[in-house]
Chains A and B, each alone.
Chain A
């Protein structure tokens, strides 16, 4: 069986697919009665419609809108075309053409999606045929603007795993060997009094009192004081994160803040100067003084070195992605592909984020502690700290570890998912929206591309992650911070994305994964190596073959063959040793390798008692 390669074709393994072949039998069934519905999902309307596919032209069919998705299927055409879009992925719904507009299929709906595609539907011009569907779509795609609940709160899905248990901050800090003689756990923020966008459990220098922390909070934007994200197990260098200091035009100083950073520096003997990475370009940091912010001045922070990382703000990133969409959807820019790609600056931003994270990781592994901040410390800071941790700590490169990383650095530290994504909100032009998390996932993808054996999860996992970033099917990415999630009882009322993922981990695992704890993973942040994530950004284009990599295919075949051999070997030995009590040869249990379906052993480190 393993002698012949068995490539998979058009195996669009994505949860949501643009063009999927369904069997002819199902087509004969009554239209859309067989449409897949999730537990808790309800039909709202179905209707004859024409889908104007940008790749194959107008397709007659029927559309179904539920409280979770838009589902389209063509009428007895060959090949069958289905279209599934979670309503959460819709950022904008517009009417196209008027009752009097001429031309075929000029009257209908124009839908802009957050996941790099646009959809067009045409309807009959007579009798305001689009009015009801437009209203329903508008209502259910943007429930929060209409006083409705997000689907995650209506879903009745059940999974064998409970993803809300994936992250336990105390457990994670214990894994890092915390608390220790230099760092303590504080519950000062347990009711989000100190900082409402921070997690309830914080790790701070042992020598800093709660009173110190309160005073420092007054000098940091939105009270986001410097707290520990990660500690190096050997040299004890730490990554801490915070927001900008409130220096302002007058160049204010704050002794408490200065002393506090000094305490952080002093927690590790090899740090002669604390490195403060300000993620912003220098000019922006200066400009922030006008609105009360700023950066750590040289005079005030004597034992610190300030490094600007030149990463642009959320608005620049949003525009960059918009430009990228223009050159890849619906058609890929052909004649000047490379210069068009360059003009979007998307990869350039990726490069700057990665190179910032490399610098953080490099300081840490050479034994020097760092502070990372940007303006508020929830966008660029989250990107930098989590990427640096991914480079430094192999645990975060496992499927579970990565979930912990996201829960910790992104969710608990208040990356404003609700504002950045605009869950259920009709205001598509909101200046708060920005693809910061997508950019982070892209950086992770670049790393997996450069180190294809270093990550336990695969590309499909990253794509699924991004699909559910928008879908609102799970509670994980809802709301802006931990306190809001707590107030809305997200854990009680919704299902975690990790429940879904961890109930079927095999489809998200990378068979090539090799545990390697001894090395820091430094990607090369050069345009020579960065590439566009084609299978995400251009995945709606049918010309992009969604195909399992032939190498992966081959490897899985070999693994299956190995399994077979081992089984045969075992059988042989069983038959030989049938009368014996312990039939299993000792060497077999040793050499038995993890099958592709069972996850490789977890990596845990430093189990110090708390």
Chain B
């Protein structure tokens, strides 16, 4: 099943008990060249010497070293002694800058005598290329030349890499399993405030209490008895449903159509989501479905006698395939392996971005979320999000809605709890959407799409979030590291059941760590980068002030009620219900309906007129210029676009250092008051280092001293259609008469 690596590993049993003990290898002559292995990590094969080429061959040139392929990563270890003084303030503990986790490999290209071919797992195994180019899911690009390695070793490493990073595999081959067997049951770090994992009743009750909602907790799936039945496997152990929904309703359509509670608005209305009912053609089934859905909607509405609105996401948003296609076109623009290509693509940059439609998909999701926010906030309508599977776009929209309405989710632990609630426990199929097992057909970056939307909100309202842009970037990278339980399962049921099986085989209780345990990836110092230094918690003053003003729900957030809550929802809803249940659906996502757009505009404008409260309702600007490219994530590895000594990071740094200075002053002041004795300490001004950080800090390295600027090499010769104007003279006069100056007004 696995290739025989240079270490002659044999496949013995379904778990990765290391057959080469890393400690033993310590005595080996190769020791210095070995990467630092993680627990449970096993080398499959290696080749040496291999050249790692920088993407600009003209610059530094290449580095000589050894290429490894392990059950976790592809690792390049340089022969050169690492320069210790390289400024590396932000390091990942699990993998270094020359490591590619196997699950992070996006595509591999082979260099066959100056011809570049995309390597797929079925072809070209016999002839190995002179070099390989690895495109990573975190947008890094590596080029390794195998020319210098021995024929046999080159062939082996190539085949090993292709096999382990591209071929379909089983869930148990994911590194997290061998990793968790070899780490002592990770101590549950109980940080305060803690991230709610929503794996027990307590978390759910706490959340319901916090939002002052009123729904019925269902425990019937406590032991995943329901999830064991096919088609039910997405359901969490515990969930809330409207009180009027009966337990037996769950069985009618395999759990589809049952409104699952997401969040309650302070007005009393709430957000629910559900999977849409199976498509049927026959009239009698259709009628039955209609009655069923009407009952469900009624249950959602009757709880509070409020109106209800069903929002069908499959009908109005891009499909899962659209998202995947768009993203694969989009990301291609950042996987750059030579400068010429970079500057050529620079000319048509904006239109290239536009044709991928990725930004437009982001805008549509945000738009849809604002639409839902408007229903909840302005019209106090209950919302039922409906989507085919119920665990993709409904996760995106429901989380975005909550992020906009509830400041709690803009804190770090609040955000993590939200992801747990809506995505991890909510049953998003991370395993297939992230394609960890290399079965491409169901891949789609839905969670990344959500992070993109969050980033848009964050860049527009930088003071409203406790976490930083870097946090989002790192989180998006972590999706493809395959060590965290968060992103490797298709459902909570799969997680629990496969851990049970594994634990039985292993004989002790195993636990795959969660991504939220950031100490696994970063030391304390690096973890600071995950926080937004500009964020301020709501002050006690503000809190009490609000309480005094409005004793009960904090209505300060809401906008003037233009329309009273609609209570006769049925007349209006049946029409859309009918449409929803029709056998065929027409995808209309390409254009937002005008009325919806106008309403959202109006809502946004009204909100924009009011003073901005970072701890209140937060809406995104959806104008063309406002939706931007997530530069840190996508451009951080491209040397040509690093602005050294610039970018917003310089502002953040100034604010941070001033805050520190203030803190010192404050302490000095306190001391003075206490001692009433001035210390004549000469406060040196903060030493200004000459190091200039990249605008993509903390990702790109810093530079000191001078450097050559990036000079665009490709110009627009003949590209721009300037027409006859370009040929004209600036001035119409002949040049022979030097004294003529035209147009001098007097």
Interface residues of A (CB under 8 A from B): 3-5, 7, 9-10, 144, 196-197, 217-218, 221-223, 246, 281, 283-284, 287-288, 291-293, 310, 312-316, 319, 332-339, 341-343, 345, 347-348, 351-352, 355, 358-359, 361-362, 365, 374-376, 379, 416, 418-419, 423-425, 430-432, 450-454, 478-481, 484, 488, 512, 514, 516, 518-529, 531-532, 534, 538, 543-545, 550-551, 554-555, 558-559, 561-562, 565-566, 568-569, 572-573, 576-577, 585-587, 590-591
Contacts and interface: CB of A to CB of B under 8 A. Distances in A.
A525 B347 CA distance: 11
Contact of A196 (B631, B669, B741): B741
B349 A527 contact: yes
A545 B681 CA distance: 45
Given A480-B744, A590-B682, A590-B683, A551 B462 contact: yes
A365 B705 CA distance: 13
A484 B744 CA distance: 7
Interface string B669-686: 100110011101111010
Contacts of A418: 743-745
Contacts of B351: 338-339, 342-343
B528 interface: no
Interface string B718-731: 00101001111111
Residue with the highest number of chain B CB atoms closer than 10 Å, among A479, A565, A577: A565
Interface string B175-211: 0000000000000000000000000000000000000
B288 interface: no
Nearest to A2: B662
Contacts of B658: 555, 558-559, 562
A316 B725 CA distance: 6
A416 B658 CA distance: 45
Interface string B80-95: 0000000000000000
Contacts of A376: 730-731
Contact of A454 (B621, B640, B646, B662): B646
A524 B349 CA distance: 15
A526 B304 CA distance: 55
B212 interface: no
B50 to A, nearest CB: 31
Nearest to A545: B608
Contacts of A514: 650, 654, 688
29 contacts: A10-B609, A246-B735, A283-B727, A284-B727, A293-B735, A313-B725, A333-B624, A337-B354, A348-B720, A362-B709, A450-B647, A479-B744, A479-B745, A512-B651, A520-B706, A520-B709, A522-B709, A525-B712, A526-B346, A526-B349, A551-B462, A551-B655, A554-B534, A555-B658, A558-B662, A573-B678, A576-B676, A587-B680, A590-B685
Contact of A419 (B680, B738, B743): B743
B113 interface: no
Contacts of A4: 536, 539, 541-542
Contacts of A284: 726-727
Given A310-B715, A524-B640, A585-B678, A450 B743 contact: no
B736 interface: yes
B720 A345 contact: yes
Contacts of B668: 569
Given A246-B736, A512-B654, A569-B665, 19 more contacts: A312-B726, A313-B729, A314-B730, A337-B624, A339-B350, A374-B730, A375-B729, A425-B745, A454-B646, A481-B744, A520-B706, A522-B644, A524-B640, A526-B343, A526-B641, A550-B534, A568-B669, A569-B669, A586-B682
B735 A348 contact: no
For the complex, would chain B's binding face be called helix, strand, loop or mixed by DSSP majority?
loop
Given A222-B738, A375-B729, A527 B744 contact: no
Given A332-B623, A337-B624, A451-B643, A587 B682 contact: yes
Given A339-B354, A527-B346, A310 B717 contact: yes
Contacts of A528: 346, 349, 629, 631, 635, 638, 641
B440 interface: no
A347 B729 CA distance: 22
A543 B725 contact: no
Contacts of A217: 738
B14 interface: no
Interface string B579-610: 00000000000010000000000000100111
Closest CB pairs A-B (n = 10): A337-B624, A522-B709, A527-B349, A342-B350, A419-B743, A338-B350, A315-B725, A338-B354, A292-B735, A451-B646
Contacts of A586: 680, 682
Contact of A519 (B347, B645, B720, B736): B645
B669 A561 contact: no
A591 B355 CA distance: 54
Interface of B: 342-343, 346-351, 353-355, 359, 461-463, 534, 536, 539, 541-542, 591, 605, 608-612, 614, 621, 623-625, 629, 631, 635, 638, 640-648, 650-652, 654-655, 658-659, 661-662, 665-666, 668-669, 672-673, 676-678, 680-683, 685, 688, 690, 692, 695, 706, 708-712, 715-717, 720, 722, 725-732, 734-736, 738-739, 741-746
B654 A572 contact: no
Contacts of A341: 350, 624
A342 B353 CA distance: 11
A197 to B, nearest CB: 6
B650 A452 contact: yes
Contact of A338 (B359, B635, B646): B359
Contacts of A479: 744-745
Contacts of A478: 745
B708 A362 contact: yes
A554 B729 CA distance: 50
A149 to B, nearest CB: 10
B580 to A, nearest CB: 26
B726 A313 contact: yes
A431 B729 CA distance: 10
Given A313-B725, A419-B743, A572 B712 contact: no
A562 B741 CA distance: 56
Nearest to B692: A519
Nearest to A575: B676
A524 to B, nearest CB: 5
A7 B666 CA distance: 24
Contact of A512 (B346, B647, B650, B739): B650
B709 A361 contact: yes
Contacts of B688: 514, 516
A221 B735 CA distance: 6
